[in-house]
């Protein structure tokens, strides 16, 4: 995948519960929709779902990242989107993942380690570095499951 003109958007949001017209969106469903679209666009990243909240990073060519984020922003199945970081970057942190994802509970080790508390998961309070550390942990878990140790840190 191309490494020129690379951008990253890191954001969080709150999942909305199912309504009469809109079914709730599960993590496997998001990944099923996202992976082929992102791969076709040269977008990579990771998504964490925890306690009714999402934390996601998208990286790739600026126009493709903005297009993808635009679609996500308009999605009526989540709300309260907050961009934690939007920046030009020199390299990808998730080069082998059209989108890797994991559903964690607030008591999972990685969440507790990064959030330093067992309260409700609140990604909006995280610094970009801590949010990325959490998403890197998701990537490492998925990499391990895939039996590929290339990106384990």
Question: Which residue from 2, 5, 26, 71 is in contact with ligand FAD, where contact means CB under 6 A?
Answer: 71
Question: Measured between alpha carbons, how far is 99 from 109 in angstroms, rounded to an integer?
Answer: 22
Is residue 142 a contact residue for ligand FAD (CB under 6 A)?
A: no
Is residue 22 a contact residue for ligand FAD (CB under 6 A)?
A: yes
Question: Which residue from 10, 12, 72, 137 is in contact with ligand FAD, where contact means CB under 6 A?
Answer: 72
H/E segment holding residue 10: strand 6-15
DSSP 105: -
Question: Which residue from 44, 56, 142, 143 is in contact with ligand FAD, where contact means CB under 6 A?
Answer: 56
Contact 131, 10 (CB under 8 A): yes
Is residue 8 a contact residue for ligand FAD (CB under 6 A)?
A: no
Q: Which of 10, 64, 15 is nearest to 37 (CA)?
A: 64
- Residues from 95 through 134 that contact ligand FAD (CB under 6 A): 99
Contact 83, 121 (CB under 8 A): no
Question: Measured between alpha carbons, how far is 118 from 134 in angstroms, rounded to an integer?
Answer: 15
Nearer to ligand FAD, 70 or 118 (CB): 70
Nearer to ligand FAD, 54 or 121 (CB): 54
Question: Measured between alpha carbons, how far is 131 from 135 in angstroms, rounded to an integer?
Answer: 6
Q: Which residues bind ligand FAD (CB under 6 A)?
A: 13, 22-23, 25, 30, 33-34, 37-38, 47, 54, 56, 68, 71-72, 74-78, 99
């Amino acid at each position: 995948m191309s490494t020129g003109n690379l951008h990253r958007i890191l954001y969080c949001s709150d999942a909305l519960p199912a309504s009469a017209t809109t079914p709730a969106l599960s993590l496997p469903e998001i990944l099923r929709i996202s992976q082929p679209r992102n791969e076709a666009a040269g977008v990579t990243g990771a998504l964490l779902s925890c306690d009714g909240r999402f934390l996601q990073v998208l990286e790739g060519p600026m126009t493709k990242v903005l297009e993808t984020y635009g679609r996500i922003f308009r999605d009526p199945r989540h709300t309260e989107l907050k961009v934690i970081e939007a920046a030009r970057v020199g390299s990808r942190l998730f080069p082998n993942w059209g989108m890797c994802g994991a559903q964690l509970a607030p008591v999972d080790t990685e969440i507790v380690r990064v959030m330093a508390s067992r309260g409700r998961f609140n990604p909006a309070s995280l610094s970009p570095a801590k949010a990325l550390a959490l998403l890197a942990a998701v990537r490492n878990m998925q990499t391990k499951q895939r039996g590929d140790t290339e990106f384990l840190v």
